[in-house]
Every structure is written in structure tokens, then in C-alpha cells.
């Protein structure tokens, strides 16, 4: 393995030794890179993405363009994951802040990074009913015809821009009510009708017929009546020939509720039986007084194990490391009273704040090895 040793002076004045791996040497612990990227030496980590690659399983991380500017963050992505999801940069509040403007810088930066390193991208997300997640111009478009036209045109523009470079899209995010078992009567439902999901999927398909189109939902891992109703909705879409390739199960474990053994695997199998792919798309398991790090290991092991038992094709964590998680941001915590049980820092991910693998990382690696 060719290695060049480079010495960088940190902002604090300390000296950090960073190993720069050549494109060919990256193969052993990351994707092929077209240009050398500073990558900290692999110690005990560096195996998750490769284990996934060996088994045909996507091991992703949600990333941000801001995060990728930090070489240590970028290196951790390359070392430990084999795919990325755009955590923030493709949402319409960011890319389409006014009805007549698009701001592509962040989304382009993530897609360019991924393309340079041969990492597939999950584009997240196009249609998300949560009102505060949408730009005010869209929510304020009250004419059904104008709203429909704006939504379908935005899908066409964004999917079209990244055709061939974004392999999977979360076309619709969280269509069910957050605590219920039915379609949320969100702004898309109200203005476009209950078939807004089908309209969005068909429009995305027309913009890039080669992209995999997904619906992403929370709470399905529990295998309750919410999952039953969701699976019925997915089955109806499939039966009508709507272009839908996969279902994302978010798996934010923000309460201490237990996933009854076997339930997640069963949900995955039922979706697979419809001919759909299934992924864990937003895994994070916060810790706190009611959940120790060892409990976190058990939860991650169960989710990864049942996901793969059922036939999942992907496990993506919602963030790269404990150093940057939405669960620690005040703006997000204000929305979620459940998070009072998990004080900051929540440490919900597989890598710690210094990008070192945690016990949960090793547990997920063991699950992959066993499959
Ligand atoms: O960019 C502004 C910044 O300028 C400002 O200083 C700062 C002050 O709070 O806010 C920044 O915006 C924040 C943005 O993330 C970027 O950090 C928003 O307030 C904050 O609400 C936003 O949160 C994101 C949230 O979706 C809404 O888009 C989270 O990071 C992101 O993890 C979260 O992801 C969602 C998935 O898309 C869907 N599933 C649930 C998941 C968690 O809510």
C-alpha cells in the first residue's frame, strides 16, 4: 500500500500526522478516489463500508456539504461508509428558497464529492409534508393548480439536474401522520389530492428513469398497525404500476420503546414480497439516563440484524459521527419533547466525536460479518 505521510498544523497549533492514501491504496478501506484525499490512518475502524461492499449491502451516512469541508469528516465518510444521503442540502427550503430561485451549491458539493469517490447518493428529499420543512412560498401557494405545477416542476428540475448522479431518491418523506396510521392530510395532500404520492413518483420517474424511487417513513420498525397500513399503501401503489422501487425505514429510536423481536424482519420481508427494496435510512439511537451505551449496542445490533435477516439492501446512519447530530441542535430539540429523556450530547451514532468506532459500530460490523 502506497502511503505518503503529511504533517498538518491544526488550528490549535498542535501537529497532526495524517496519512494520505493514493487512489489505488484507498481500495483497502474505502472507495476508489480519482484524486488523493487526506485520510487518517485506519486503526481498528475502516471496515464497515468494506464489509458492506463485500456483501452487496449499502452502508451509508447522511452528510452535509458543510461537514464535507472538514477533511477529517470527509475522511471518516470515505473510510467507514460506501454511500451517502443528503441530510439537508437537497431539501426545497435549501435548494429552492423562493419560487424563482435555486441554490445548488450545497447539493452540488455533496454530489460532486460522491461522484469523485464513486459513492452512490440517496437524494433526500423531494416531497415532505412537514410544514416547517418547506419554503414559505410553497406553503403559501394556495391555488391547487399552481401548487401542483410548482411541485411537479420542482421535482422535474431537481431530479433532472442530478440524473445519472443520484441513484436513489426519497421522493416522498413521512407521508403518514407522525403518531398515526394513515396518510397525513398535509399541504401536498390538501392541494394535490390523496394521489400526490403517485404524481410525485411518476414525475420523478419521467425526469430520470434510471433512478430508484423510494418512500421514506418513520416508525415502521416497530411492526405495529402503522406498518400494516403503510404496507397496504405500498401494495396499492405497486399494484397500479406506479414507479416505486423501495421503502426506507428511518429507525430514529427516540423513545425507549422496544422493537419486539422479529417484528422488523417481518416488515422487511412483507415489503420485499411486494418486489420492493428495503433500507434502514436514518438510523440513530440516542443515549442518556434511560439508555446506556450498552443498550445502544443492543438496539443497533437488533436493527441491523433484523434488517439483513429480512433482506434489506442498505443501512444508513443519520449523520457521520457523534460530533454532528440533529439530535443535539437546539432548533430540532425544541420540536421534540421526547428528547428531554436524552440530554445533549446524545451520542447516537456509530463513530464517536473523534471518528473512532464505538461498541455499536463493532456490533454492526459483526452483524455484517455474520451475513
Ligand atoms: O442553516 C441554518 C443556520 O443558518 C442557522 O444558524 C441554524 C440555527 O438553528 O439553523 C440552520 O438550519 C437548520 C438546518 O437543520 C441546518 O443545520 C435548521 O434550523 C434545522 O431545523 C435543520 O434540521 C434538519 C431537519 O431535518 C429539517 O430539515 C436536520 O438537520 C435534519 O437532520 C432533519 O432530518 C430529518 C429528515 O430529513 C427526515 N426524517 C427526520 C429527520 C430528523 O428530523
Supply the pLDDT for residue 174. Answer: 98
Respond yes or no: is residue 282 known to be catalytic: yes
Residue nearest to atom 8 of ligand 1 (CA): 331
In ligand 1, the atom with minimum distance to the C-alpha of 132 is: 27
Q: pLDDT digit of tens for each residue in the chain (371 aa)?
A: 333 333 222 322 232 323 333 333 333 344 333 444 445 555 555 799 999 999 999 999 999 999 999 999 999 999 999 999 999 999 999 999 999 999 999 999 999 999 999 999 999 999 999 988 999 999 999 999 999 999 999 999 999 999 999 999 999 999 999 888 999 999 999 999 999 999 999 999 999 999 999 999 999 999 999 999 999 999 999 999 999 999 999 999 998 889 999 999 999 999 999 999 999 999 999 999 999 999 999 999 999 999 999 999 999 999 999 999 999 999 999 989 889 999 999 999 999 999 999 999 999 999 999 99
Which entry of 198, 282, 306, 314 is annotated as an active-site residue? Answer: 282
Q: How far lies 122's CA from each of 87, 89, 216, 229, in Å? A: 10, 12, 11, 25
87 by DSSP, 3-state: which? Answer: coil
Supply the pLDDT for residue 46. Answer: 75
Residue nearest to atom 34 of ligand 1 (CA): 87
Residue nearest to atom 5 of ligand 1 (CA): 331
Q: Residue 86: what are its φ and ψ, rounded to 5°?
A: -85, 110
Supply the pLDDT for residue 42. Answer: 56
Q: Which residues line ligand 1 (CB under 6 A)?
A: 87-88, 91, 125, 133, 173, 250, 282, 326, 331-332
In terms of pTM, does the model score above 0.85? yes
Pocket test for ligand 1, best of 103, 125, 332 (most atoms within 8 A of CB): 332
Pocket test for ligand 1, best of 66, 110, 329, 330 (most atoms within 8 A of CB): 329
- Say how many Å lie between the CA of residue 325 and the centre of ligand 1: 10
What stretches of the chain show up as alpha helix (H) in DSSP?
Answer: 48-55, 65-68, 71-80, 92-95, 105-116, 136-139, 144-161, 187-192, 196-207, 225-239, 263-273, 293-310, 330-333, 359-369
Respond yes or no: is residue 131 known to be catalytic: no
- Which single residue is written with the C-alpha cell 452483524? 367
Amino acid at each position: 500500500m502506497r502511503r505518503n505521510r503529511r504533517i498538518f498544523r491544526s488550528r490549535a497549533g498542535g501537529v497532526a500526522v495524517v496519512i494520505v492514501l493514493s487512489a489505488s491504496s484507498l481500495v483497502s478501506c474505502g472507495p476508489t478516489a480519482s484524486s488523493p484525499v487526506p485520510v487518517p490512518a485506519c486503526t481498528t475502524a475502516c471496515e464497515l463500508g468494506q464489509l458492506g461492499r463485500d456483501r452487496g449491502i449499502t452502508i451509508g451516512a447522511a452528510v452535509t456539504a458543510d461537514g464535507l469541508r472538514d477533511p477529517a469528516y470527509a475522511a471518516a465518510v470515505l473510510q467507514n461508509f460506501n454511500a451517502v444521503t443528503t441530510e439537508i442540502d437537497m431539501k426545497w427550503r435549501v435548494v429552492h428558497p423562493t419560487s424563482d430561485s435555486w441554490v445548488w451549491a450545497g447539493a452540488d458539493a455533496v454530489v460532486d464529492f460522491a461522484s469523485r469517490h464513486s459513492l452512490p447518493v440517496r437524494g433526500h428529499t423531494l416531497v415532505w409534508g412537514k410544514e416547517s420543512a418547506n419554503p414559505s412560498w410553497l406553503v403559501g401557494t394556495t391555488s391547487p393548480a399552481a401548487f401542483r405545477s410548482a411541485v411537479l416542476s420542482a421535482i422535474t428540475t431537481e431530479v433532472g439536474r442530478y440524473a445519472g448522479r443520484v441513484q436513489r431518491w426519497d421522493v416522498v418523506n413521512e407521508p403518514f401522520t407522525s403518531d398515526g396510521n394513515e396518510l397525513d392530510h398535509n399541504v401536498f395532500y390538501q392541494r394535490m389530492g390523496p394521489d400526490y404520492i403517485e404524481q410525485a413518483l411518476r414525475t420523478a420517474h419521467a425526469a430520470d428513469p434510471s433512478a430508484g424511487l423510494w418512500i421514506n417513513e418513520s416508525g415502521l420498525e416497530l411492526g405495529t398497525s402503522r406498518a400494516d397500513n403503510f404496507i397496504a399503501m405500498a401494495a396499492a401503489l405497486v399494484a397500479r404500476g406506479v414507479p416505486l422501487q423501495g421503502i426506507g425505514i428511518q429507525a430514529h429510536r427516540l423513545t425507549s420503546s422496544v422493537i419486539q423481536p422479529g417484528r422488523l424482519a417481518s416488515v422487511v420481508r412483507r415489503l420485499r414480497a411486494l418486489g420492493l427494496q428495503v433500507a434502514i435510512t436514518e438510523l440513530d439511537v440516542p443515549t442518556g439516563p434511560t439508555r446506556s451505551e450498552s443498550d445502544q449496542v443492543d438496539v443497533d445490533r437488533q436493527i441491523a440484524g433484523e434488517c439483513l435477516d429480512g433482506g434489506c439492501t442498505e443501512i444508513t446512519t443519520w449523520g457521520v459521527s457523534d460530533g454532528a447530530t440533529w439530535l443535539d441542535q437546539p432548533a430540532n430539540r425544541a420540536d421534540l419533547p421526547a428528547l428531554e429523556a436524552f440530554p445533549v450530547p446524545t451520542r447516537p451514532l456509530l463513530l464517536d466525536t473523534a471518528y473512532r468506532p464505538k461498541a455499536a459500530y463493532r456490533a454492526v460490523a459483526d452483524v455484517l460479518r455474520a451475513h
